[in-house]
Amino acid sequence: MSNITEFVQSLAVQVTLVSWSVFLLAWSIGWMLRGSPIPLARVRRAGQSFIEDAVWAAFWLSVGSLVFALVSKIAQVLQGAP
């Protein structure tokens, strides 16, 4: 049973790392588009949209990571593993 728990935890860590990487990429692209010297308002609005979406994604990633960590800790305590 501990192998399944460890596998799920390692998978969750990998998915979280990829998700945070995508967040940083989207956030930086958003700021590049928003601050670009391109005179099109659509480009700047798209950059602002990227930034807003990235901030919401970071919030939900944080909440999801916290919930998963709590569930994982409760499962370990109930299982009796250190």
Helix axes 41-79, 2-34, angle to 10 degrees: 160
Cα 1 from Cα 72, distance rounded (Å)? 13
Helix (H, G, I), strand (E, B) or coil at 37: coil
pLDDT digits (tens, 9 = 90+) for 24-77: 999 999 999 888 888 888 888 999 999 999 999 999 989 988 888 888 788 778
pLDDT of the residue at 52: 93
Cα 19 from Cα 75, distance rounded (Å)? 24
